[in-house]
Amino acid sequence: MFSYNTIKKIMFNFEPETAHHMAEYAFKILPKCKFINNAMVKRNFVNHPMLTQELFGVKFYNPIGLGAGFDKNATMVKAMMANGFGYTEIGTMTPKPQAGNAKPRLFRYPQEESIQNAMGFNNLGASVVEENLKEVYPYAIPIGASIGKNKLTSEEDTLNDYKSLIHSFKDLSDYLVVNISSPNTPNLRDLQNEEFIKDMFTMAKEITTKPILLKIAPDMSSQTAIELCKTAVKYGADGIIATNTTQDYSLVPNAKDFGGLSGACMSDKSYELFKAIGQELHDKTILISVGGISDATDVYRRIKAGASLVQILSGFIFKGPSMCKDINEELIELLKADGYSNIKDAIGADFK
Ligand SMILES: Cc1cc2nc3c(=O)[nH]c(=O)nc-3n(C[C@H](O)[C@H](O)[C@H](O)COP(=O)(O)O)c2cc1C
């Protein structure tokens, strides 16, 4: 078998989006090759009592999830378990299919282990994703569904986009995520205001009892983020995911001046904002930390800052299929070294 470093060298010769399509193709057929798939699950999927927890009524065998945006159309759910992920977040989907922004819109910075994207919610639309989910849901690992508005939807109709998506995915996922934090849909981040969040979660809670979380951007003061998160929780949000990609283009030399940066370059930025939110909310709701994570030390500091779960996207591209296993095994050792018998006891330890 090739090492991931060899595969990465080959893949990085292709345009990032082409490489992504190649990976998607491989991950779509992987579950059909039962022998390889099962061997990968056995090798990569860590199912350990110290890492197992039930959150908003859903059982998670390990805390490392795939961040939204990698599997926009829910075609790779099974392969993500084989890659060791404890859960996966599909989407972001929009009600109608859309092509996304003009290409090129995806860039790698290998030296910085970072990515820049301006994809713009390219996806096949709710009805196709629904069909894909019907093939796989419920699955052995939890599936989150990230929902967003269509680019051309007017301001007045925005809430209706989310409403129809909640109806579409409430019975085809373990939790839902309201994405109003992508930098790549014009004016989307403006929805990160108290009035919209109040209307959003009030509406959502009338439709479903399914857990529904809010994902926020990193490019705001911690005070603003805390206030928005508190409003979301007040009106029924079951959790907060922080953060989406950053528009701080100074984090990578020669970055483009559009889209959002992710990966190692944003680790500290995302952590700092997360910790501020954690201080206020870790004992009041479920917090998920995402942004620049790729090793156990970083996961552990997020847990101590209040994270029940984490998510990784860019790190997976740079580290490959053994990443989750490596992190989970080291995380168990870190927990043991501090005398914890379950991950739950370490959540928010910084504030105890
Ligand atoms: C190519 C790409 C596409 C993304 N698409 C989405 C998306 O559709 N919805 C979303 O909520 N986040 C999206 N994200 C953001 C990630 O889920 C994550 O919040 C961010 O990349 C930071 O995590 P990371 O450093 O581990 O990548 C995307 C990120 C990348 C790199």
Atom index in ligand 1 nearest the CA of residue 68 equals 17
pLDDT at 1: 62
Cα–Cα distance measured from residue 338 to residue 325, given in angstroms and rounded to the nearest whole number? 20
Confidence (pTM): 0.98
Distance 304 CA to ligand 1 centre (A): 23
What dihedral do alpha carbons 93, 94, 98, 101 form, nearest 10°? -80
Residues of the chain with pLDDT under 50: none
Distance 291 CA to ligand 1 centre (A): 8
Cα end-to-end span (Å), the chain: 46
pLDDT at 2: 72
Distance 35 CA to ligand 1 centre (A): 31
Give the three-class secondary structure for 115.
strand
Cα–Cα distance measured from residue 348 to residue 352, given in angstroms and rounded to the nearest whole number? 7
Cα–Cα distance measured from residue 181 to residue 225, given in angstroms and rounded to the nearest whole number? 12
Distance 199 CA to ligand 1 centre (A): 25
* Residue partners of 117: CB distance under 8 A and separation at least 6: 69, 105, 106, 107, 184, 245, 259, 260, 262
Which positions are catalytic? Answer: 182
Cα–Cα distance list, 274 to 34, 88, 322, 348 (Å): 39, 20, 26, 11
Name the residue of 105, 151, 262 whose CB sits within 8 Å of the most ligand 1 atoms, as the mutation to test its pocket.
262
Protein residue whose Cα sits closest to atom 2 of ligand 1: 69
Protein residue whose Cα sits closest to atom 19 of ligand 1: 244
Residues near ligand 1 with C-beta < 6 Å? 67-69, 72, 91-92, 106, 115, 117, 119, 121, 146, 179, 182, 215, 244-245, 262-263, 266, 290-293, 312-315
* Residue partners of 223: CB distance under 8 A and separation at least 6: none
CB burial of 100-112 (b: ≥16 within 10 Å; e: otherwise) equals bbeeebbbbbeeb
Cα-atom radius of gyration of the chain, to the nearest Å?
19
Cα–Cα distance list, 301 to 137, 264, 334 (Å): 32, 15, 11
How far is Cα of residue 177 from the mean position of the Cα atoms in its chain? 9
How far is Cα of residue 311 from the mean position of the Cα atoms in its chain? 5
